[in-house]
Structure formats: structure tokens, C-alpha cells
Amino acid sequence: MSARILDGRVLAQALRHELAAQIAELRERIDRAPVIAVVQVGEDPAATRYVRSIDRLSQSLGAACRTIILPDVVTQAELEATVSRLSADDRVDGILLQLPLPAGLSLDGVLSRLIPEKDLDGIHPINAGLLAQGRPALIPNTPAGGMELLRRYEIEVRGKRAAVVGRSAIVGRPMALLLLQADATVTICHSRTSDLGAVLRECDIIVAAAGRPQLITAEMIKPGATIIDFGTNVLADGSMVGDVDFAAAVEVAGAITPVPGGTGPVTNVMLIQNLIKATRSRLGI
């Protein structure tokens, strides 16, 4: 058996067409493009490439992107003041903080200056709390993309047993909550979970978000299970692999996301979806 490939590139392209149409309609309603402001501290090459990709994606869909690059030596007070100004600026509809912040800067302090209505990463404590309560909120883009893959590829979630391997506040925990809202029975696994394989072999859906290359082997997978792999691990030879041993798992699973080309392409598109949601909500349309 060879698993069905859940191709994120194909889904991302379809989503781009849908979001471009929504932005065109939104522009007519508000007589301008929705604006995302990206705050970057320092000029790390990888961070700069990512921010540029967000700029290109935004413009290609009809949105506008403002990039604010602050020096490495920026103080906590200066960074917080920048976020405060953007939060108060009616010409800015959403704010993205390029993470992680350099050592010495407090994310909690910055989030205290970010209004949750503009939090495009869905990491503000209020948005996290709303998600935990099952109420409408801006949710983190990576797990949102994972759920979109399940939905668009018509993977049944209701009544299924699901395991999320990883408990980060940005991916693992929100993904578990989203699966719970979709009526799955969810187990969260982590570095202290005893006999991980025994847990996973009972599950119909496995979400890998541990940040450990090829942690999940074929022997841990229930035949026919669906695997969503959020792992992006770069090996010594420069190749990228997920948290799942793809070559072996593809012969056991029923459906699986590849790395690269699975969850990654969908994540950035979900950021634009959050921008549209934020704009509509903030302006009452």
C-alpha cells in the first residue's frame, strides 16, 4: 500500500485564488487594500527571506505589506512602542511579529502592546484563551493549515482518535484544540510520553510537531492512518525532513503530508486568511 499524498502546494494554489477574490471584494468595501505590518528585529538572512515571501504573497493577492525592520540593538521599550503605534494605527489591519525575538527581548512584553484583533499569528493570550474555549478567534497559521488540509482532502476527523506529538503554544496545543473542536478524541504526546509507539498505533490521525527529525517510524503507525507532519528539520547535508520517516511511513499510512511541500505552503496562505478575518472583524463587515 502506498499512502495518498496530501499536497500542500496544490491546496495553497487553490486557496490563493479564493483569497484573492475575497480581497478584491474587501477592497471594494473599504476602498483600499487590507494592510499587514511585519515587525522584524535584525536582519537575519532566513528571517529576511521569510518576510520578503510574505510581502510577495500579500501583493500577489491584492493586499499591502509594510515591513518595519528594527536594529539588533533595539530596546524592549522601543520594540513595544513600535507595536503600540501599529496597534493604534487605523491604516494597519494586521500585525505579524517575526519570531523568535533576539535574546534579551520579552515576547510577553511585546504581546501586551499588541491588540488581539490584529494578532495575525494568533499567539496573543486572549486569542489563545478564545481558542481554548471554542470561541471565534484568530488562530495560529500552522495548525490552521493542518486542519485545512484535513478538510480539503476530506479526511474524516469526527469520532476519530488523534495524537498530537508536540505541545508548543504555537503548533501542538492549538492543533490539539482544533482537532477536539472537530470532535476527535485527542491525546497530546511529548518528550516525557512513555512508549510513544504504543500510543500512536491506536490513532487514526497522527500530527507530528515535535521538531525531532524522523522521530516517528513506520512501526509506530496504525495501517491506514492519516499523518500531518509539521516538522521542518534541516540535516547536515542540507536536506529537509519532517518528524516522520516519510519513506517508510508512506508504505503504511493511508494519507500523509510530504516534507517539504506539505504543511509549509499552506501556512503562509492561512496568514492572509487571518488578515482578511481581522480586517472584516475590526471594521464590522
The three-point CA angle 205-208-212 to 5° equals: 155
Residue 168 is labelled as binding a ligand: yes
Report the relative pairing of strands 35-41 and 233-234 from DSSP bridges.
Answer: unpaired
Which spans in the chain are helix H?
A: 8-30, 45-60, 76-88, 107-111, 125-132, 141-152, 172-181, 196-200, 246-249, 264-283
The helix-helix angle for 45-60 and 264-283 (nearest 10°) equals 60
Residue 167 is labelled as binding a ligand: yes
What number of CA atoms fall less than 13 Å from residue 166's CA on the CB side? 24
Residue 134 is labelled as binding a ligand: no
Q: Is the peptide bond before 100 cis (omega within 30 degrees of 0)?
A: yes
- Separation between Cα atoms, residue 72 and residue 69, nearest integer Å: 9
Joined together, the cell numbers standing for residue 226 give 492519516
- Separation between Cα atoms, residue 272 and residue 36, nearest integer Å: 9
Residue 191 is labelled as binding a ligand: yes
Residue 152 is labelled as binding a ligand: no
**Torsions phi, psi of 226, nearest 5?**
-95, 135
As annotated, the binding site for NADP(+) includes 166-168, 191, 232
Binding residues, by number, are 166-168, 191, 232
